[in-house]
Amino acid sequence: MRSNAAESVDEYISRAPAAVAKRLQAVRGTIRGAAPEAEESISYRIPAYKLRGVLIYFAAFTEYIGIYPITASLKEALADELAPYLAPKTKNTAHLRHDAPLPLRLIARMVRIRRAENLALVAAKASGVRKATASKGAGGASARPNRRATRVGRR
């Protein structure tokens, strides 16, 4: 069975109503301007921009354009500017309502911050610096006990 998913960002945008398509093109142009070397693709059936990892996704909905992911670092760096756009029922989504002007400068800043994060992460990995996590011990094994092991002998 063939999927109805768009195969390119051009195709995705062309399927939107004209007024929404114009807004999607503005978002696309802003993202490409902020990270011209980013790879543009369709991922999870929506436009995606990647540069050494995900930079940003966007998607058209009836009442808004969704922007993903809104990471903790974006929330910290752009707290006041992002606040009006954060989706009320989700943690990592911004809603750009169709009845309001697009915050193109904010989108550009978001992309530049994500770009810098991704490039810094790649540089850190290349230099051998590893991010420590609470769930991993020095040997890389999980610090969480194996539940099956604790239930041995129970019926």
- Tell me if 3 is assigned to some domain: no
CATH number for the domain including 65?
A: 3.90.1150.200
- Tell me if 40 is assigned to some domain: yes
- Tell me if 4 is assigned to some domain: no
pLDDT value at residue 124: 86
Q: What amino acid occupies position 15?
A: R
Dig out the tokens for 116 from the structure. Answer: 């810098």
> pLDDT by residue (tens digit) across 58-101?
999 999 999 999 999 999 999 999 999 998 888 899 999 999 99
- Tell me if 85 is assigned to some domain: yes
Q: What residue numbers bound the domain in which 100 lies? A: 9-150
> pLDDT by residue (tens digit) across 112-141?
999 999 999 888 888 876 654 444 444 444
- Tell me if 72 is assigned to some domain: yes
25 class by beta-carbon count within 10 Å (0-12 exposed, 13-18 middle, 19+ buried)? middle
Count of the separate structural domains present in the chain: 1
